[in-house]
């Protein structure tokens, strides 16, 4: 049944599922909102969205923290395939939603977290330092000397992911889609950086397949990739600070070059990650961690940390960490080998998505040590060097997470951390309901001044319940650059509630009724009134008439005009707000009858109408000069039938009406004869 899942023997149970339509269609969730994880009948969690992004390939990703336990969920969606992982470290459980590559059906899988196909990484490699590396370091120092950037400033590291043909085959047939695997690996890496409070982002600037057959020695393959002119050309083309290759291997979980100088070494910014575990664990960020100077736990009996720095002698803290939480569980950071076989105590620990950081707690215990386990500090202090490995002439832009999302507005913004060597003449954000908005093609754009630094933007005139894509931008003489694209959804507009009131009066061609807006929903009722038709279910789109009777909450009265006598009408109240138009109960009424005959006439005319007046009523005939020529009182109620003798009138045009407080028609009549 699970022919597309290589670890099927480790599966405890599975089920064919239907995904949330929002996820399946590629729509976005709102950051900081809660979602339900209805996994199995006896497994239910809620999770809070912390990140929502779309990468350069159009793959959506969502990261969420499980509320009931310190767990994590990663959602990715590309095309018609979704990939979801739910990792619950303290419970030792792992859930995965993966698609059949043939039927595209999605399966929910439950397994023990320790049964995931994850191998330990190989020892990091420290290549020989070459003369050209000194020139690169000088270039970086020159670039940063006037930037005034420190640990408390955000930095973005651009990453290029390449995957071998074998990795692509595995990703498409066993991994839930290669694009999803790449996005999940990047999302897991960002989760680790966020949890560790590094003030760092990583951005996928390019990914593609390249023709390469793995040799079985991943360390040697890493050297081949680092020396490849083709890969170097792609790296320069896309200005990638770091390069990661996903390969289908079985000897190690991954391998990377270890940075040992605080001045950086762009030429060793390469790593390899085993494709089989790229989406299920933290190997990708582990290997990139080596590229940025992070090392293993100092008590490992194999390849222990911390990093021995050539020019940072006081730094003994670049190592991983392991600890026992308040729940009694044993946990380790991503740079720490987990198996007890690597330690004298023999205790196996559970990996959690954190770089070692003594200022961050996991299960109420510090996740690091100030002396020997603070990789997060190393990253915070060296991140701007890494982010300068490849420098574009364009400005470097960081897009802030969208916040305070309402029905029609939201707050965003960004930060220009580097102007690329020329003045930023304009900065702001652009947004659209379609991906990848630009300053030329967008649905909205702000101008938030000039220069580098942080800025806040207000996104206005948005539509409720709509997905939007937003990026910060910066314009210099070199061109326009954009920050990472954020995705968010505006608040869902709720409908108003309205009640229809029955008729208060009816005439032959008009009537009076009304309604009441009982609730406005979460936006103002901008229009209210009655709508009517000679057919059932009248609406603003299908009617013979409608009234507009103010706005907001409360009651209103409407005059229905332009009706035909003796005709049945359907009417109901309506109220319109940002959520749309809602209608009250439909009622019916029939207009009164009123008629005269014959017309033309000679010596008499018959007048018939319904009299509902409580006051005096007269049948009145006037000539064309307005002179009353006949006035006939009517005293009876109900149906009235009168014959008026008009034989004495001269031939010509006359007007007949019923004089009443109720409205009656004015008939034009023709008298034949003299």
Candidate from 66-80, 149-163, 423-437, 658-672 with smallest mean pLDDT = 658-672
The predicted pLDDT at position 256 comes to 98
What is the CB neighbour count within 10 angstroms for residue 91? 16
The predicted pLDDT at position 303 comes to 93
Give tens-digit pLDDT for 334-344: 999 999 999 99
Distances (CA, A) of 671 to 609, 642, 653, 664: 21, 18, 6, 21
Give tens-digit pLDDT for 446-476: 999 999 999 999 999 999 989 999 999 999 9
> Percent of the chain scored above 90 by pLDDT?
81
What letter does residue 188 receive in the DSSP assignment? H
Interval 427-435 mean pLDDT: 95
Give the separation between CA 43 and CA 94, rounded to whole angstroms: 12
> DSSP characters for 122-151?
PPPB-PPP-HHHHHHHHHHHHHHTTT---T
Tally DSSP H helices, then E strands, for the chain.
Answer: 8, 41
Hey, do 396-487 and 595-671 end up sharing a CATH topology, with the first three levels equal? yes
Give tens-digit pLDDT for 148-207: 899 999 999 999 999 999 999 999 999 999 999 999 999 999 999 999 999 999 999 999
Phi, psi dihedral angles at 666 (to 5 degrees)? -115, 115
Q: Which of 36, 3, 22 is nearest to 82 (CA)?
A: 22
The predicted pLDDT at position 22 comes to 65
Q: Which helix (H) or strand (E) holds 94?
A: strand 93-99
Phi, psi dihedral angles at 459 (to 5 degrees)? -95, 120
Terminal CA-to-CA distance of the chain, rounded, Å? 101
Q: Read off the pLDDT band of 58 (50, 70, 90).
A: confident
Is the model's pLDDT at 273 over the cut of 50? yes
Give tens-digit pLDDT for 382-421: 999 999 999 878 888 889 989 999 999 999 999 998 888 8
| Token digits of residue 138 | 């000088």
The predicted pLDDT at position 31 comes to 62
Distance of CA 374 to the CA centre of its chain: 34
| Token digits of residue 661 | 């407080």
Angle at 165 between CA 95 and CA 334, to 5 degrees: 40
Q: Roughly what angle, to the nearest 10 degrees, separates helices 229-237 and 218-227?
A: 60
The predicted pLDDT at position 295 comes to 98
The predicted pLDDT at position 30 comes to 59
How many residues appear in the chain?
674
Q: Which of 633, 595, 592, 594 is nearest to 615 (CA)?
A: 633
Q: Which of 345, 348, 357 is nearest to 195 (CA)?
A: 357
* Contact predicate 356/335, CB 8 Å: yes
The predicted pLDDT at position 674 comes to 62
What is the CB neighbour count within 10 angstroms for residue 628? 11
Give the separation between CA 17 and CA 428, rounded to whole angstroms: 42
pTM of the model: 0.72
Q: Which helix (H) or strand (E) holds 513?
A: strand 511-519
Q: Read off the pLDDT band of 28 (50, 70, 90).
A: low
The predicted pLDDT at position 32 comes to 66
Q: Read off the pLDDT band of 24 (50, 70, 90).
A: low
Task: Given CATH 3.40.50.150, say whether it is the number of domain 497-590.
Answer: no
* Contact predicate 534/571, CB 8 Å: no
Burial (CB count <10 Å: 0-12, 13-18, 19+), residue 57 = middle
Please report, for the chain, the start and end positions of each structural domain, with discontinuous segments joined by +: 8-115, 396-487, 497-590, 595-671
> DSSP characters for 426-472?
EEEEEEESSSS--SSS-SEE----SSSEEEEEEE-SPPTT-EEEEEE
What letter does residue 607 receive in the DSSP assignment? E
The predicted pLDDT at position 260 comes to 97
The predicted pLDDT at position 1 comes to 80
Tell me the fold of 595-671.
Answer: Immunoglobulin-like (2.60.40)
Interval 584-613 mean pLDDT: 91
Phi, psi dihedral angles at 612 (to 5 degrees)? -115, 15
Give tens-digit pLDDT for 319-331: 999 999 999 999 9
Give the separation between CA 392 and CA 597, rounded to whole angstroms: 90
| Token digits of residue 11 | 């599966």
Is the model's pLDDT at 595 over the cut of 50? yes
Give tens-digit pLDDT for 600-656: 999 999 999 988 888 889 999 999 999 999 999 998 988 899 999 999 999 999 999
| Token digits of residue 416 | 């220009």
Q: Looking at mean pLDDT, say which of 36-45, 126-135, 254-263, 411-420 comes out highest.
A: 254-263
Q: Read off the pLDDT band of 269 (50, 70, 90).
A: very high
> Percent of the chain scored above 70 by pLDDT?
98
The predicted pLDDT at position 76 comes to 95
Q: Read off the pLDDT band of 509 (50, 70, 90).
A: confident
Half-sphere exposure of 227 (CA within 13 A, CB side): 7
Q: Read off the pLDDT band of 26 (50, 70, 90).
A: very low
The predicted pLDDT at position 289 comes to 98
Give the separation between CA 282 and CA 192, rounded to whole angstroms: 8
Task: Given CATH 2.60.40.10, say whether it is the number of domain 396-487.
Answer: yes
The predicted pLDDT at position 29 comes to 58
Candidate from 6-15, 51-60, 127-136, 177-186 with smallest mean pLDDT = 127-136
């Amino acid at each position: 049944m699970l022919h597309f899942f290589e670890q099927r023997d480790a599966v405890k149970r599975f089920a064919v599922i239907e995904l949330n339509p929002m996820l399946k269609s590629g729509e976005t969730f709102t950051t900081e909102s809660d979602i339900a994880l209805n996994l199995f009948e006896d497994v239910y969690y809620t999770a809070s969205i912390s990140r929502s992004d779309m990468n350069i390939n159009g793959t959506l990703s969502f990261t969420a923290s499980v509320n009931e336990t310190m767990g994590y969920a990663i959602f990715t969606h590309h095309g018609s395939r979704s990939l979801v992982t739910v990792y619950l470290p303290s419970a030792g459980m792992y859930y995965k939603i993966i698609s059949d590559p043939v039927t595209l059906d999605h399966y929910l899988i439950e397994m023990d977290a320790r049964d995931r196909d994850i191998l330990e990484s190989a020892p990091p490699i420290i290549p020989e330092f070459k003369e050209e590396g000194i020139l690169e370091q000088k270039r970086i120092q020159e670039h940063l000397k006037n930037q005034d950037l420190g640990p408390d400033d955000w930095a973005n590291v651009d990453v290029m992911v390449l995957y071998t043909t074998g990795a692509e085959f595995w990703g498409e047939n066993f991994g839930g889609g290669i694009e999803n695997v790449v996005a999940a690996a990047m999302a897991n890496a960002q989760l680790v950086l966020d949890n560790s409070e590094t003030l760092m982002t990583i951005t996928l600037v390019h990914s593609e397949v390249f023709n390469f057959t793995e040799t079985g020695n991943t360390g040697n393959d890493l050297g081949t990739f680092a020396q490849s002119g083709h890969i170097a050309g792609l790296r320069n083309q896309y200005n990638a600070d770091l390069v990661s290759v996903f390969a289908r291997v079985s000897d190690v979980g991954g391998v990377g070059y270890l940075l040992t100088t605080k001045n950086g070494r762009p030429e060793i910014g390469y790593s390899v990650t085993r494709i089989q575990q790229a989406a299920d664990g933290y190997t990708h960020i582990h290997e990139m961690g080596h590229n940025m100077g992070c090392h293993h736990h100092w008590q490992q009996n194999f390849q222990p940390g911390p990093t021995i720095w050539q020019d940072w002698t006081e730094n003994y803290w670049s190592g991983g960490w392991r600890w026992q939480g308040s729940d009694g569980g044993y946990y380790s950071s991503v740079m720490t080998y987990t198996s007890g076989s690597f330690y004298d105590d023999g205790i196996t620990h559970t990996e959690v998505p954190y770089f070692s950081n003594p200022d961050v707690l996991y299960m109420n215990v510090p996740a690091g040590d100030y002396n020997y386990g603070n990789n997060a500090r190393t990253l915070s202090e060296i991140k701007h060097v890494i982010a300068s490995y490849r420098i574009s002439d364009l400005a470097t832009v960081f897009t802030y997470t969208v916040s305070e999302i309402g029905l029609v507005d939201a707050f965003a913004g960004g930060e220009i951390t580097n102007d690329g060597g020329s003045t930023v003449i304009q900065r702001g954000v652009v947004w659209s309901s379609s991906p990848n908005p630009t300053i030329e093609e967008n649905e909205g754009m702000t101008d938030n001044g000039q220069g580098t630094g942080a800025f806040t933007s207000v996104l206005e005139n948005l539509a409720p319940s709509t997905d939007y894509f937003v990026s910060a931008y910066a314009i210099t003489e070199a061109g326009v650059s954009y920050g990472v694209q954020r995705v968010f959804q505006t608040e869902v507009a709720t409908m108003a509630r309205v009640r229809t009131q029955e008729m208060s009066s009816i005439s032959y061609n008009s009537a009076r009724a009304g309604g009441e807006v009982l609730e406005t929903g979460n936006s103002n009722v901008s229009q209210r009134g009655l709508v009517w038709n000679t057919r059932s279910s009248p609406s603003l789109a299908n009617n013979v008439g409608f009234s507009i009777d103010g706005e907001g909450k409360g009651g209103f009265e409407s005059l229905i005009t332009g009706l035909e006598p003796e005709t049945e009408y359907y009417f109901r109240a309506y109220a319109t707000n940002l959520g749309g138009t809602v209608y009250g109960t439909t009622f019916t009424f029939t207009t009164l009858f009123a008629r005269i005959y014959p017309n033309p006439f000679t010596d008499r005319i018959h007048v018939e109408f319904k009299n509902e007046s409580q006051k005096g009523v007269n049948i009145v005939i006037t000539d064309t000069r307005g002179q009353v020529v006949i006035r006939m009182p009517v005293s009876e109620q109900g149906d009235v039938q009168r014959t008026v003798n008009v034989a004495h009138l001269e031939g010509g045009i006359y007007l007949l009406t019923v004089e009443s407080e109720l409205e009656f028609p004015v008939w034009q009549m023709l008298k034949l004869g003299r």
